[in-house]
């Protein structure tokens, strides 16, 4: 089941106060390193960068630290953006929809999306929008939870299906974390996402699996 955009936005408005804490707890703090890697893989010094579905802003801020000249963080949840605004005034924070980006074609040198494409109503449209706002040769990095493989699979299943929703329930607004396991199961695996990126106008797509295969970092170049 895919949640309607309004339901996703409402869910993130509710999650906003606990979002950063949940990230650190769920990943044992590794999410900070993953965002740094994602930023470094797409951003070059002096770039104009879009961080789409920026949430509370940590990946947009990582893009800035990776040397971007100007970073725009976009999200449709005002409550998530409120938190981002408090963190870094040098980033431009914009309320908007990833499926209808309010930017002209070829505006950005690079774009990043951290744990954001999993929740969109139309993944292909999201990737085409990201391609549209990048210049030719611009780079896209997508950091996303993916279906785990191999011997660690049962462990991750226990973690995501049982423990994370329980931790979520213990935190105010965190009950929405019960949605997370379903969204991971529904999302395409790393190979399928690679092909989809190629179909949507990205070349030279590489994937790096992190955290024992549970997180995938896809990087591609706009053709």
Ligand X SMILES: C[S@@+](CC[C@H](N)C(=O)[O-])C[C@H]1O[C@@H](n2cnc3c(N)ncnc32)[C@H](O)[C@@H]1O
Q: Which residue is nearest to ligand X (CB)?
A: 55
The 3-state DSSP class for residue 87 equals: helix
Shortest distance, position 23 Cβ to ligand X, whole Å: 6
Among 50, 54, 130, 134, binds ligand X (CB under 6 A): 54
The label of the residue with tokens 């703090």 reads 29
Does residue 76 bind ligand X (CB under 6 A)? yes
Specify the residue, 98 or 134, whose C-beta has the smaller distance to ligand X.
98
Among 120, 184, 200, 216, binds ligand X (CB under 6 A): 120
Shortest distance, position 113 Cβ to ligand X, whole Å: 7
Per-residue CA distances from 125 to 98, 122, 192, 219 (Å): 9, 5, 15, 18
Give the whole-angstrom CA distance, residue 53 versus residue 115.
Answer: 8
How open is the CA angle 96-100-101, to the nearest 5 degrees?
60
Among 72, 77, 146, 221, binds ligand X (CB under 6 A): 77
Alpha carbon 72 to its chain's center: 14
The interface with ligand X within residues 87-106 (CB under 6 A) comprises 97-99
Does residue 59 bind ligand X (CB under 6 A)? yes
Q: Which two tokens stand for residue 100?
A: 């209808």
Q: What share of the chain is helix, strand, coil (3-state, %, to 5)?
A: 50, 25, 25
CA dihedral 95, 99, 100, 104 (to 10 degrees): 100
- Region near ligand X per CB under 6 A, out of 8-16, 151-159, 164-172, 198-206: 8-16
Shortest distance, position 173 Cβ to ligand X, whole Å: 13
Does residue 165 bind ligand X (CB under 6 A)? no
Does residue 125 bind ligand X (CB under 6 A)? no
Residues that bind ligand X (CB under 6 A): 5, 8-9, 12, 53-55, 58-59, 75-77, 80, 97-99, 114-116, 119-120
């Amino acid at each position: 089941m895919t949640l309607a955009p309004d339901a996703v936005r409402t869910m993130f408005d509710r999650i906003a106060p606990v979002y950063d804490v949940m990230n650190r707890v769920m990943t044992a703090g590794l999410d900070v390193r993953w965002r740094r890697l994602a930023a470094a893989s797409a951003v070059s010094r002096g770039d104009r960068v879009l961080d789409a579905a920026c949430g509370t802003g940590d990946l947009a801020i990582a893009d800035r630290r990776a040397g971007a000249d100007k970073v725009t963080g976009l999200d449709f949840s005002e409550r998530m953006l409120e938190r981002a605004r408090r963190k870094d005034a040098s980033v431009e924070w914009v309320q908007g929809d990833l499926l209808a980006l309010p930017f002209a074609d070829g505006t950005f040198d690079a774009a990043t999306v951290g744990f954001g494409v999993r929740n969109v109503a139309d993944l292909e449209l999201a990737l085409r929008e990201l391609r549209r706002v990048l210049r030719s040769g611009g780079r896209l990095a997508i950091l996303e939870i993916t279906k785990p493989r191999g011997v660690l699979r049962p462990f991750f299943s226990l973690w995501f299906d049982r423990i994370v929703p329980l931790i979520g329930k213990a935190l105010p607004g965190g009950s929405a974390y019960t949605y997370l396991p379903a969204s991971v199961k529904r999302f395409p695996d790393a190979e399928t996402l690679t092909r989809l990126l190629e179909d949507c106008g990205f070349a030279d797509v590489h994937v790096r699996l992190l955290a024992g295969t549970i997180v995938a970092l896809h990087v591609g170049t706009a053709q």
